[in-house]
Structures are given as structure tokens and as C-alpha cells.
Amino acid sequence: MADNQLTLLARVDKPGSHTLASYRADGGYRAFEKAIKEMQPTQVIDTVKASGLRGRGGAGFPCGVKWTFLPKDHPGPIYICINADESEPCTFNNRVLMEKDPHQVLEGAMLAAFATRASTVYYYIRYEYGPAYRATQAAIDELYAAGLLGKNILGTNFSLNIYTHRGAGAYICGEETGLIESLEGKRAWPRIKPPFPAIEGAFRKPTIVNNVETLACVTHIIGKGADWFKSMGVPPDPANPRDAGSYGPKLYNLSGHVNKPGTYEIPLGITARRLIDEYGGGVWKERKAKAVVPGGLSMGFMTESELDTPLDFNGPGKVGCLGLGTAAVTVVDDQTSMVDVLYNVCRFYAHESCGQCTPCREGTGWMFKIIDRIRRGEGRLEDLDLLAEVGNRIGIMPGTTICGLADGAGWPVKNAIKKFRPEFEEYIRSGKKGRALQVAAAH
């Protein structure tokens, strides 16, 4: 597949792309009809497993494998939750699909429900996504009117209902158990695992949580086959037994200091440099890149010398980043202070910590206070070591918190200090103040 042969974004510029009539005219719901009339649920699961599809929401867990975690012969009900919270900073690939081609996502959700024997799908949408919510709800209404949702769909014994649920704008609801708690009407405090949602999820019933883009891929895998999907992307690294490969098309968000920000569909594995130069038109104002986020702020930063890193599930980790994440690439130009950048990062995570785990609640607050002090020109060189220490001591990986918000908060802090330490030290030694305070003083 050439870079310009679109699949996930093939329909987004068509008039009426969000409507059922337009979608069916382009072959929509043929894969679903084929599945419920000609395939067994296990065949759908096996096809998705064979494709190598990995979750597009950030963790990159194999989708078909996740579906097999459901208890065998469970009497039900079994639920599917669609994670459309999309609150990772600089991430907006789900929004494009939901607004412009909602039926593509819904068909994938219906296929997932058939494969897992789920009777209900809960579509959890972040509150800020007003147009996406309205387009999705209108699409669901069309499906009921057409007899594609409800009881005995297309004359089969398969029945399914889909309900939308709007979140309240909390980052923590992007974590699957936090999402489930919110869906149940409770405070969105992530649950201790195990049990995992596939065993005990929404309303204490087996639940699969999938990302919007992941389900859009399912639609095409069932329609075109696993081999088609695996013809794109990057095969597993033979030197890394934990690498499951990075197959299929991927929606990359490109934002920050670039000439052409936007959402681009490209097979997994493009380098950050090529994405920025060929798709984003290069760094704006004829400047150079200083730092690049590979997939949402929680992934950390790549330096300019690391931009030839492939943006697949394996690549960013080789240069000290947490992973590919959501593939939301954000460019920071060479005239922007990393102190200001890290200030914004720490402020966000301190605000979004749910407060359930003390190390995260206190640690994110400490990091923000320290970087705020540095930004005000009152920092000490030892503050940099203190920031890195806090970042290393909070999160799932050191075993101190229930969910990964603390890992996502700490990683860009210790990553930025390691890669840009001379800039932070110079800032502290010179007693500089942040741009916001300089502007305030000027007025």
C-alpha cells in the first residue's frame, strides 16, 4: 500500500460521508452482514488475531488476543465499551473518524460484539466532542431505523443495542477501568487489577474495551482479510521476542510548530522526520525542531538527532520514550523554551490526577511546584535531580499506583531533563523567568 492509498480516511472528504446512505453506497456493512450470516464468532476472532492488529489507544495490546480473555461459555450479558474519551494531549485521530465517518467505527463495534457474543455496546465519548457525539448518535439512530440494530438483525438470531454515554472531560477516563467506573455513574477512580475488565468489567460483567481507531480497523480486516492488513507496516523485530509487529494503517496526528498540522493516514513505521517534512511541510517559520513528542505528551520527547526513529510500536522506546502511544506527534521548535514546555506538561498532569493514589496525587503536584519555581527564576540545580527522582518513583512500573497516569506524568519529566539538561541548567543559572511572567512585567 502506497502512502497515498487511504483506507481509514478514504471517505472523510465525500459529501454526506457521515450518513448511512453514503456509507452503504461505498460497501458499508457488507463485512458485518458477511460475518453474522456466514461466519462463526470464533472465525471473526481468529481473523483479527491473524491480522496482528494492535490497539490504537496507546498501549498497543493485540486486539484479537484481548477478545479471547473473556470467560468461555459465560451466560452473559457481555459488554463492549468503545473508548472515545481521547483525552491524551495533542491527540485527535478518533475525532476525525467519529465526525466524518461514524459508520466505519460502528461497523467495527458491531463486528466486535458479534465476535465476543456481546449484547450491548456502550460508546463512551468525551464531553468536549460535541460534533463527534452528534454525528455518532445520528448514525446510531439511522441503524435502528434501518433494522441494523435491535433484535434479530438481518433475519439472524443476533441482537445488539448501542448506547452513547458522554464523559465529563476527565483525562483519567481514558484508562479503561476509570472509564467503566464513570460509565456506572461513579467517580472515575481506576480499579485495582486483577480482575481485568474481560473477567469483571462494566456492572461486574465481562467487558471488552476497545479504542475507536482500533474498531475502524476491524471493519476493514473482516472486509479485506488479515493478509491485506499485514501487507502494511513493520514485521516483528527478530531481536525482540516481545515485539508483536506493527501492522496496518495508522492515523498520525501532527501538531505544534509545523506548517501543515492535521491527521494523516500512513502505514505504521514512517519516521518522525519524514512525517514532519513530507506531510507536515516542515517546521514552521523556517526554524528547526528542538524536541518532538512521538505519541501524546506522556510518551516523552525525541531530540532532533532522533527524528529518523520509526514511529511504530517498537521504535520510540529505542530512544528513551515510553512508546508510540496514540501516534500524536507534536513538534517543538528551536526557539521554544523546554522549561515552558515542561511547565505545561506538569500543570496538566497535576490537574488531571484523580487523587486516589498518594504517590500520583502528591508527586504530580510536587513536580508542578518545582518546575513552576524554576520557571519563575527561583530554581536550584538540585531541583533537576529532585524532579527526575519523583518521576522515577511514581507509577505502575515502580509499583506505587493503580493506573498509568503517574507513569505518563513522570516520563516526559525525567526524559526532558535527561535530554535537555544543559538548557535547564543554563535557565537556572541565569535566573531567567518564564515567558508568561516576562510578558506580565512588560505590561
pLDDT of residue 237: 86
pLDDT band, residue 4 (cuts 50/70/90): low
Q: What is the mean pLDDT of residues 63-84?
A: 94
pLDDT band, residue 438 (cuts 50/70/90): low
Mean predicted lDDT score pLDDT of the chain: 94
Q: Which domains does the chain have, with CATH numbers?
A: 20-231 (3.40.50.11540), 247-333 (3.10.20.600), 338-442 (1.20.1440.230)
pLDDT of residue 58: 84
Q: What is the mean pLDDT of residues 379-398?
A: 94
Output the pTM of the full model: 0.93
pLDDT of residue 270: 96
pLDDT of residue 363: 96
Are the C-beta atoms of 94 and 9 separated by less than 8 Å? no
Residue 2 pLDDT greater than 50, yes or no: no
Residue 71 pLDDT greater than 60, yes or no: yes
pLDDT of residue 242: 84
